[in-house]
Copies of this chain bind each other. A is one copy, B any other.
Amino acid sequence: MLIVMKPDATPADVARVVRVIGTMGYEARPMPGRQRTTVGLVGNDGRVDSSQVAGLPGVAEVIHVSKPYKQVSREWQAEPTRVALPDGSTVGGREIVVMAGPCSVESEEQILLAARQVKAAGATVLRAGAYKPRSSPYSFQGMGAKGLQLLAQARAETGLLLVTEAMDTQGLETVAEVADIIQIGARSMQNYPLLKECGRLRKPILLKRGLSATIVELLLSAEYILSEGNPNVILCERGIRSFDTATRNLFDLAAIAVVHGLSHLPIIADPSHGTGHRDMVPAMARAAVAAGADGLLIEVHPNPERALSDGAQSMYPEDFVRMMREVVAIADVIGRSVATPVGSTV
Name A's B-contacting residues (CB within 8 A). 42-44, 68-70, 133-139, 167-171, 187-188, 190-194, 211-212, 214-217, 220-221, 223-224, 227, 240-247, 250-258, 261, 274-275, 279-280, 283-284, 286-292, 326, 329-330, 332-334
Contacts and interface: CB of A to CB of B under 8 A. Distances in A.
Contacts of A253: 251, 253, 284, 287
A283 B289 CA distance: 10
A183 to B, nearest CB: 15
Contact of A250 (B190, B250, B257): B250
Contact of A211 (B212, B257, B261): B212
A247 B243 contact: no
Given A211-B212, A212-B243, A258-B246, A290 B286 contact: yes
Contacts of A283: 254, 256-257, 290-292
Contacts of A212: 211-212, 241, 243
Given A136-B69, A190-B135, A212-B212, A243 B241 contact: yes
B284 A137 contact: no
Contacts of A243: 212, 214, 241-243
Nearest to A331: B333
A284 B244 CA distance: 21
Contacts of A284: 253-254, 257, 291
14 contacts: A42-B138, A133-B190, A137-B223, A214-B243, A241-B243, A242-B243, A246-B254, A247-B254, A251-B253, A253-B253, A254-B275, A257-B275, A261-B280, A326-B334
Given A190-B133, A227-B137, A280 B252 contact: no
Given A44-B138, A252-B250, A283-B257, A330 B192 contact: no
Contacts of A168: 168-169, 191, 193-194
Nearest to A134: B192
A255 B333 CA distance: 24
Given A70-B138, A250-B254, A286-B291, 5 more contacts: A167-B193, A212-B241, A214-B244, A283-B291, A284-B291
Given A212-B241, A244-B240, A191 B192 contact: no
Contacts of A211: 212
B274 A257 contact: no
A109 B240 CA distance: 43
A69 B136 CA distance: 7
Contacts of A42: 138
Residue among A194, A256, A274, A330 having the largest count of chain B Cβ atoms under 10 Å: A330
Nearest to A239: B254
B251 A280 contact: no
Nearest to A292: B283
Nearest to A279: B261
Contacts of A133: 190, 192
A224 B244 CA distance: 21
Nearest to A191: B191
Contacts of A275: 254, 257
